[in-house]
Amino acid sequence: MATDSPFPEDAAAVTDTAPDGIPPDSLPTGLPPDGLPPDGLPPDGLPLDGLPAGLTPGLPPDLSPDKIQSFCESNPTQMPCASLPGLYQYRINLPANAIFLTLFCLSLIWFCVVLARNRRGALFTLAMVAGLLCEIFGYANRIINFDNQWSVLPFALQFSLITLGPTCMAAGIYMCLSRIVSAVGIDNSRIPGDYYTKFFVPCDIMALLLQAIGGAVTATSVIGGRSPDTGNRILIFGLVLQILTLAGFIGAATDFSIRTYRRRKRLGRAAFSHHPAFVRLRSTMRFRGFVGALALATLCIFCRSVFHLAELSEGITGPIFGNQGLFIFFEGVLIVIAAFALNVMNPILTAPELFPGGGFALWKKEAAPPPVIVHKVVDWNDKV
């Protein structure tokens, strides 16, 4: 509505109607009363389905909001599809994803080279390789999505594969604790050494299967244009199981460390295994470095899993999922640290005594080592 002002500019300034008679209060936040910014594009972060009919530039006027994704997937370079983040809620950082892809490839190559040269620790290496392959193909699909962030298939694949990668790596970590217990001293553990692998590895496999099923259901739902809520709930259940397994593993390792420390103060060297190979191994810096690297990798995977659970609890449209900085740190940086920590301090190189022979058995019972002392030390405090 205009006033009878003698100044034309004042009359234009008080015009309070938008194009096509749309009142200003019906426009989304961020749009001026005259409809769109000077460049004719909606503000950053504004969903297309939030625009009133007729104000979405470059799209067919009869296109319903639920078909915008399929239209933009087929026409990613058409405006405004090219200027919007698509399925990710952000523009993919190509250099960061390329760096992660390269680092995971280098880590994979090194694990394979070490296995080929030493021919031991096969199951540990297999678990790490499986996790790294998931990461590699996951980041490769993110790079594919860079040119078309509306493409559903690469989006679904990267989501599922990057979810599974750390879970596979965790299985390799679990295989190492029982061997460390044997090297340090089985009497320091509350449970038989081989029970660590028998318990934690099956739990991790169950978590892996649940996440794989949940990822597959989510991927097919996204590809089919259906709600991913069912697959998301399965994924969350698998992640909860993984976090509980990791927490139990950390608790068991911490308890073993505390008991070993206390028994060493009371019994001295008698608290440790007297197998000559293990005595030499425990005296080396490489063994201590391996234990430290294993602890670091476990902590990194645990923190990443907690983040991923928080991310999924809000769904793929939540604010955490749409924060690329958090993704780069928790899904990228932490997992790279975990992988390279076990690359540098690979137990096949730093603790080969823990992997006699081929090392294919998950919980093969080793023959009892020849005793060095002829009497048994009884710690009555452990009986209390």
Q: What are the tens digits of pLDDT across the range 60-91?
A: 555 555 566 677 776 677 767 777 777 888 88
Q: Are residues 288 and 177 in the same domain?
A: yes
30 pLDDT tier (thresholds 50, 70, 90) = very low
* Average pLDDT, integer, range 110-120: 93
Q: Are residues 186 and 37 in the same domain?
A: no
Q: Are residues 51 and 171 in the same domain?
A: no
The rounded percent of the chain whose pLDDT value lies above 70 is 73
Q: Are residues 197 and 333 in the same domain?
A: yes
Q: Are residues 246 and 121 in the same domain?
A: yes
d(CA 45, CA 84): 8
Mean pLDDT, the chain, whole residue set: 79
**Centroid of chain to Cα 78:** 33
List the domain range (segments joined by +) for residue 182.
Answer: 94-383
Provide the number of structural domains found in the chain.
2
Q: Is residue 69 one of the residues assigned to a domain?
A: no
Asked if pLDDT for residue 288 goes beyond 80, the answer is yes
d(CA 196, CA 359): 16
Q: What are the tens digits of pLDDT across the range 317-370?
A: 788 888 999 999 999 999 999 999 999 999 999 999 888 765 444 444 444 444
| Of 102, 96, 90, the residue nearest 132 (C-alpha) | 102
pLDDT at residue 173 in the model = 94
Asked if pLDDT for residue 26 goes beyond 80, the answer is no
Q: What are the tens digits of pLDDT across the range 160-194?
A: 899 999 999 999 999 999 899 989 988 888 888 78
| Of 384, 87, 43, 48, the residue nearest 225 (C-alpha) | 87
Q: Are residues 313 and 254 in the same domain?
A: yes
Residues 6 or more apart from 321 whose CB is under 8 A from it?
Answer: 89, 311, 314, 315
| Of 43, 48, 45, the residue nearest 58 (C-alpha) | 48
Asked if pLDDT for residue 17 goes beyond 80, the answer is no
Q: Is residue 7 one of the residues assigned to a domain?
A: no
pTM metric for this prediction: 0.75
20 pLDDT tier (thresholds 50, 70, 90) = low
